[in-house]
Structure 1
């Protein structure tokens, strides 16, 4: 019998092997081994490609699961589940939003200086942060008027008596350069223009919250006649309600163009590094408890007749302030929290006593004795004075520059807490929303005032539970942002964009917008103000 092989097996010469093939069985075995050895090895790129493909499928699958969990958490939170425990250090939903201040393509370049309607002079008013709002709005007003803006003048005559000029606090060249595509800004009115003027610049004060129409009807005609107009006491002189591009210009000025000078930035960053070196995360507390703040509030803080007399004298500096009922102001939530109350609030929210605190403040009324209760709650308590040492000396005579240093540290802290709702608190709240909804805690003073009074009548666990309940909506969560709510500098809704997937969440997971019904997407995002709220969403829904 013989064995017939089909095909060419490319067998090697058997004579090369030292051991002869003894028989047919051995020959078959040898042939199988030879055939296996002749098979092509699978290329490595196919192996690696298959592995990567498999990993991609796994990642996609697990990613969908994580995304579903995240959206589910957000739905539960939005529906008001009181038992939903939020992370006190950061928002679980911050990454669903981001700041967006780019103007639309329809927002054209500014009118050149030689073709503008004239020069706009601005005299800002108040402390650093009040003046910052004025500077921001001044740029927008210059855009409305097609005017050339002269670098604003800062207030040297307010309560703080700070002689700092714009260039001592803000980077002037950066300011001018950052706005070159929006508004032409110059450092001064050209001498040629000043010499050609028959009269000094026309000075006027516009009403608070004036509309663009007011500026066009009342200010523009004067500007065209006189060529140079100065607007005085310029703080909060522009309405909250503007079109989206002008609102975004506000954000661009506030969050990009207004950069502090290099010496201030360097010292602020140095303090930040010191805080980070001591702890990986920390809280910045803006503690407005200076004598002028307390006197202006008309509140009483338990210091007896000595306190009443001292604050009454300070309050008399403002001739137009009415007499107030201190207890009534507190029950209405108009009084700033004391250091002791700030400590109670933070501990009740869940911050441990080994948490590091940075206190941003001026001269606290009552000094270290007033601060002692907060230090007992949180021994790791620091200020710019304790951290900066001798480096602070060049700035000690300038309250606005000191406030700028505090601003820098508060801006980058993990958590920002305020004991009031003043200018700095509002500006920082808005900026931190724009920068990614960093945890920002504003006390619900109206509800907390009654709770603080009853503190000794309940167990700590019950007190803490009620504090957490009252603070819902005051923790800096993204859903607190609503068009028309509060001051735009605190709630910059036109400049907060959200991912397209948020459409489903905004409708509570029950409805979805049809493609033809959705607001137009801009760079794959939806501005908060353009999206319908849950209450009015039904009319947008595809049946």
Structure 2
């Protein structure tokens, strides 16, 4: 437990006021983010997926995929004078341990196993490999109404800000925050902050991160059993929903700000 996660309640309340009320994105970024949200909501409920299938993340993990992806990774690393070294054995061990980034194809399988309809509007956040568009084709085929920030929603208004990753990340945050269902394919600070923020808002919109190691056997092969995969995912979601209250502070404060949520005692069964 971090010291910052075990402060007196008044200080924890102050942290929530600062984190979720006082701190705000600057007006131009907030306006663009809310504009994107309104466009998405105009067609009905939407799903947001924080897809951590990014070149720097893949190179860092040293995971290998198909020939096209590996060639793209080598080219990407070479252009930036980054050494990309891995071997099949090490990569296979990482995959079996659930340590490799979830691919677009695997993401499509997971969404389908969760029951997401193919015509659902899905917002893909994160620095996914838009330059390597062919690597994203499985998602394009599975969900033809997919949306990518800089390509679709804000093309006419984002202007020169499109070259600033921090601005794009801020827009991703706003759109993910207001989504009807948020799925993250990997951990990280942004995911932790979004989980806590959505929990604090209290509108009961689910935030879900699949636990990779348990899903590896079900995801192996070009056509996994979606029924089996769906059952595994349902178990993970149920376990998450039934986390014991006495284990709440096992999570970092910003991941689950319990102290800032009002609790109402349930009426006694004998009352």
Scaled to the shorter chain, the TM-score interval is 0.7 to 0.9
Helix, strand or coil: the match of 2:19? Answer: helix
Helix, strand or coil: the match of 1:255? Answer: helix
Shift of 1:307: 5.1
Q: Deviations over 1:85-142 (max 9, x none)?
A: xxxxxxxxxxxxxxxxxxxxxxxxxxxxxxxxxxxxxxxxxxxxxxxxxxxxxxxxxx
- Measured in 2, the distance between the counterparts of 1:463 and 1:455 equals 13
Equivalence for 1:281: 45
Equivalence for 1:129: none
Equivalence for 1:493: 258
Q: Deviations over 1:457-488 (max 9, x none)?
A: x65433433332344335xx474764222322
- Measured in 2, the distance between the counterparts of 1:392 and 1:497 equals 38
Equivalence for 1:352: 117
Equivalence for 1:264: 29
Shift of 1:363: 4.9
Q: Given that residues 455 and 463 in structure 1 are in contact (C-alpha distance below 8 angstroms), is that contact kept between their aligned partners in structure 2?
A: no
| Aligned alpha-carbon RMSD (Å) | 3.0
In structure 2, list runs of 5 or more residues that go unmatched.
84-88
Q: Given that residues 447 and 470 in structure 1 are in contact (C-alpha distance below 8 angstroms), is that contact kept between their aligned partners in structure 2?
A: no
Shift of 1:454: 5.5
Shift of 1:284: 1.0
Kindly indicate whether residue 59 of structure 2 is the aligned counterpart of residue 292 of structure 1.
no
Helix, strand or coil: the match of 2:255? Answer: coil
Q: Given that residues 110 and 229 in structure 2 are in contact (C-alpha distance below 8 angstroms), is that contact kept between their aligned partners in structure 1?
A: no
Shift of 1:378: 1.0
Distance 1:329 1:472, change over 3 A: farther
Distance 1:247 1:393, change over 3 A: same
Aligned length: 262
The one of 429, 440, 449 equivalent to 2:207 is: 440
Shift of 1:246: 2.8
Distance 1:479 1:441, change over 3 A: same
Q: Given that residues 354 and 380 in structure 1 are in contact (C-alpha distance below 8 angstroms), is that contact kept between their aligned partners in structure 2?
A: yes
- Measured in 2, the distance between the counterparts of 1:486 and 1:310 equals 39
The one of 173, 180, 185 equivalent to 1:414 is: 180
Helix, strand or coil: the match of 1:494? Answer: helix
Distance 1:438 1:460, change over 3 A: closer
Q: Give the number of the structure whose residues are more often helix, by fraction.
A: 2
Equivalence for 1:449: 216
Helix, strand or coil: the match of 1:301? Answer: coil
Distance 1:383 1:426, change over 3 A: same
- Measured in 2, the distance between the counterparts of 1:472 and 1:408 equals 27
Helix, strand or coil: the match of 1:416? Answer: strand
Kindly indicate whether residue 99 of structure 2 is the aligned counterpart of residue 340 of structure 1.
no
- Measured in 1, the distance between the counterparts of 2:201 and 2:81 equals 37
- Counting only pairs closer than 5 Å after superposition, residues 358-369 of structure 1 correspond to structure 2 as 358-364=123-129, 367-369=132-134
Kindly indicate whether residue 68 of structure 2 is the aligned counterpart of residue 301 of structure 1.
no
- Measured in 2, the distance between the counterparts of 1:366 and 1:300 equals 19
- Measured in 2, the distance between the counterparts of 1:459 and 1:363 equals 26
- Measured in 2, the distance between the counterparts of 1:430 and 1:461 equals 30
The one of 77, 93, 99 equivalent to 1:328 is: 93
Q: Deviations over 1:143-202 (max 9, x none)?
A: xxxxxxxxxxxxxxxxxxxxxxxxxxxxxxxxxxxxxxxxxxxxxxxxxxxxxxxxxxxx
Q: Given that residues 334 and 446 in structure 1 are in contact (C-alpha distance below 8 angstroms), is that contact kept between their aligned partners in structure 2?
A: yes
Q: Deviations over 1:308-352 (max 9, x none)?
A: 6457667958xxxxxx93333333333221111111111111111
Equivalence for 2:166: 400
Q: Given that residues 418 and 443 in structure 1 are in contact (C-alpha distance below 8 angstroms), is that contact kept between their aligned partners in structure 2?
A: yes
In structure 1, list runs of 5 or more residues that go unmatched.
1-208, 212-238, 318-323, 515-543
- Measured in 2, the distance between the counterparts of 1:478 and 1:405 equals 31
Distance 1:484 1:419, change over 3 A: same
- Counting only pairs closer than 5 Å after superposition, residues 98-113 of structure 1 correspond to structure 2 as none
Q: Given that residues 295 and 311 in structure 1 are in contact (C-alpha distance below 8 angstroms), is that contact kept between their aligned partners in structure 2?
A: no
Shift of 1:455: 6.7
Shift of 1:414: 0.7
Q: Which moved more, 1:307-316 or 1:363-372?
A: 307-316
Q: Given that residues 289 and 365 in structure 1 are in contact (C-alpha distance below 8 angstroms), is that contact kept between their aligned partners in structure 2?
A: no
Kindly indicate whether residue 190 of structure 2 is the aligned counterpart of residue 424 of structure 1.
yes
